[in-house]
Amino acid sequence: MAKKIQFGSRIGLIAATVGSAVGLGNIWRFPAEAQANGGAAFLLLYVACVFLLGIPVMVAEFALGRGTRSDAAGAFRILSQRSRWWITGALAILASYLILSFYMVVAGWTLEYFWQSLTGALYDIPEGASSDTASATFQHKMGEYITDSWRPLIATFAMIGINLFILMRGVRKGIEKMSNFMMPLLFLLLVAFACVAMTFPNASEGLAFFLKPDFSKITPTVAVNALGQAFFSLSLGMGILITYAGYFPKDTRLVKTAVTVSALDLLVAVLMGFIIFPAVMSFGLAGESLQGATLVFVTLPEVFAQLPASSLWSALFFLLLMVAALTSTISLGEVSVAFVQEHFKTTRRKACLWVLLPLFFLSSLCSLSQGPLSHISILGMNIFDFLDNMATNIMLPVAAILTCVFLGWATPRDFLKKQLENGGTIAAKSFPLILFIIRFAAPVLIALILMAKILG
Ligand code: PHE
């Protein structure tokens, strides 16, 4: 086998993997889920899901990737020739590509809001407007923008262009270099925002809601939501971690890396809680639902509008959001690029073009489905929501279950053990526990979420 490209440093490898995990899921989905599911009760279950299930499944994906040094489908093919297991990888690749097509649209929105914050256009609100009017204004601005026929397309196309540029530069000069620069920036911005949020008048009430657990709020639905959020946030079941682990050096400690990545991803989610809950409690927005895009495109602008230097804070926040979205789109894109490059034995350049050019069409469809094409409905949803539901609620958990079953039951036990031991050079005390979770706990629990989602 030709020697495959590897990440240049441990920091770079962690930055890239954390970059994939940290995304819109941490920044707006997590606070929204926490608000809807009883605050601290949700946080507690979420932490449990990350450590008990998320980390072992992440280790499983790492082992598959590093052990085969192949793409997400190739990993299954190599380990189980003449079987159909490669379909699991293909499903993950397809899911990640569908997610990419609509994630790119939202990434475009973050770019537009960043731009509108810089120019100040976002805060062009009639003098002396009351807070109700401010809320209505931002709601209106968002609605008008995302349903427009061509404005969101410009930003989406710009994001596809940036992705193409970075992916074409390759794993080290593109993905790793970008992550090494962007992830520290992201953490710096988050800490700055968390510090500012602590100075808000009702910060402590907000924190109390987020941090004081009320165990009576823990129900099966909350548990299902926490597990779903953990898998989405850690980018599991999408072939991403298999693909990135294909670039890990042979001495990378897989368990340690999974713990580090998951802990940093969790830290970002918790920091977002430290920012959002004090902010909404302090500015009279606690009653607003944080669900969906309104949290970042309506509620937070309302907060910024009440701060001095609104445009500056707003620009910094949307920069943070853009960075989080970009590192995630890059990882989603890399899954398909690696697959095309490997499977069709082509150059990286060509693979990048094959993967990203169709997005100009697919992402346009997703974008237009918010406005001019909103009448096209599949199972009662517009194109955007349909793809989101299909990929994140169905394909992703199915791929995650099959990945666990494959590694737990269909590959020789030795394979995982050797990967955890780095070929016998380190001890792997966690092996029995990880194997147990991959064989039993994870597939059963993920199947439960899947059923809960399907049955509504
Ligand atoms: N894990 C990312 C997040 O938290 C989302 C993501 C989903 C990234 C799917 C890649 C693929 O937002």
The per-residue pLDDT for range 308-352, each reduced to its tens digit, is 899 999 999 999 999 999 999 999 999 999 999 999 999 999 999
Torsion of CA 207, 211, 216, 218, to 10 degrees: 120
Supply the pLDDT for residue 3.
Answer: 63
Nearest Cα neighbor of 246 from 135, 178, 174, 337 is 337
Token code pair at residue 157: 């196309």
Per-residue pLDDT, 131: 66
**Read out DSSP for 34-99?**
HHHTTTHHHHHHHHHHIIIIIHHHHHHHHHHHHHHTS-HHHHHHHHSTTSSTHHHHHHHHHHHHHH
Question: What are the C-alpha distances in Å from 431 to residues 14, 91, 242, 250, 400?
Answer: 22, 27, 19, 18, 19
Report pLDDT for 128.
65
**Do 68 and 78 contact (CB within 8 A), yes or no?**
yes
- Other Cβ atoms within 10 Å of 288 Cβ, number: 16
- Ligand 1: residue of 272, 328, 393 to mutate (most ligand atoms within 8 A of CB) is 328
Q: 72-108, pLDDT tens digit by residue?
A: 999 999 999 989 999 999 999 999 999 999 999 999 9
- Beta-bridged to residue 381, according to DSSP, are 378
Which tens digits make up the pLDDT trace of 226-276? 988 999 999 998 999 999 999 999 999 999 999 999 999 999 999 999 999
d(CA 360, CA 104): 10
> How many Å lie between the centroid of ligand 1 and the Cα of residue 257?
18
Q: Residue 2 pLDDT more than 80?
A: no
Distance of alpha carbon 293 from alpha carbon 270, whole angstroms: 19
Q: What's the pLDDT score for residue 1?
A: 47
Average confidence (pLDDT) over 28-35 = 90
- Quote the pTM value: 0.94
Mean pLDDT of the chain: 92
Please give the pLDDT value at position 129: 65
Residue 265, both tokens: 């991803």
In a mutational test of the pocket of ligand 1, which residue from 57, 175, 233 has the highest number of ligand atoms less than 8 Å from its CB? 233
Q: Write the pLDDT tens digit of every residue in 124-141.
A: 876 666 666 778 889 899
- How far is 66 from 248, CA to CA, in rounded Å? 6
Q: Which has the minimum average pLDDT: 17-21, 176-180, 348-352, 411-415?
A: 411-415
Q: What is the CA radius of gyration of the chain?
A: 21
For range 60-75, the mean pLDDT = 96
Spacing, Cα 235 to ligand 1 middle (Å) = 5
Whether pLDDT at 421 is above 90: yes
The protein residue whose alpha carbon is closest to atom 6 in ligand 1 is 235
Tell me the C-alpha distance between 260 and 88, whole Å: 27
| Unique residue bearing structure tokens 């509620």 | 299
CA of 21 to the centre of ligand 1 (A): 5
Q: DSSP string of 301-315? A: HHHHHTSTTHHHHHH
> Cα separation of 322 and 327, whole Å?
9
Asked if 171 contacts 71 with a C-beta cutoff of 8 angstroms, the reply is no
Give residue-wise pLDDT tens across range 372-382: 888 888 988 88
State the alpha helices, DSSP H only, in 283-347: 294, 300-305, 310-343
CA–CA separation, 383 and 361 (whole Å) = 13
Token pair 């040094």 is found at: 69
Identify the pLDDT of residue 38: 85
One DSSP character per residue, 214-261 reads: -GGG--HHHHHHHHHHHHHHTTTTSSHHHHHHTTS-TT--HHHHHHHH
| Of the candidates 70, 75, 99, the residue with the CA atom closest to the CA atom of residue 86 | 75
Classified as helix, coil or strand, 2 is coil
CA distance 367 to 347: 30
Residue 46 CA, chain-centre distance (Å), reads 15
CA distance 398 to 15: 27
Q: Quick one: pLDDT band at residue 284, thresholds 50, 70, 90?
A: confident
Best of 232, 326, 334 to mutate for ligand 1, by most ligand atoms within 8 A of CB?
Answer: 232
> What is the model's pLDDT at position 449?
83
Residues in the chain: 456
Given a cut of 60, whether residue 432 has pLDDT beyond it is yes
Give the N- to C-terminal CA distance of the chain in Å, as an integer: 47
C-alpha to C-alpha distance for 51 and 258, rounded to whole angstroms: 10
CA of 292 to the centre of ligand 1 (A): 15
Q: How does DSSP assign 355-378, residue by residue?
A: HHHHHHHHHHHHHHTTTTTTT--B
Q: Which two tokens stand for residue 71?
A: 């793409």
Residue ranges of alpha helices (H) inside 80-176 are 86-119, 131-146, 151-168, 170
Residue 262 Cα to ligand 1 midpoint, Å, equals: 13
The closest residue, in CA terms, to atom 9 on ligand 1 is 235
Identify the pLDDT of residue 352. Answer: 98
Residue 422 pLDDT > 50: yes
Average confidence (pLDDT) over 109-115: 97
Atom of ligand 1 nearest to the CA of 234: 1
User: 421: helix, coil or strand?
Assistant: coil
Atom of ligand 1 nearest to the CA of 396: 9
Coil vs helix vs strand at 381: strand
Mutate which of 20, 242, 262 for ligand 1? The one with the most ligand atoms within 8 Å of its CB, which is: 20
**Rounded to the nearest whole angstrom, what is the distance from the C-alpha of residue 238 to the centroid of ligand 1?**
9
- Which residues surround ligand 1 with Cβ inside 6 Å? 20-21, 23-26, 99, 232-233, 235, 238, 240, 328, 331-332
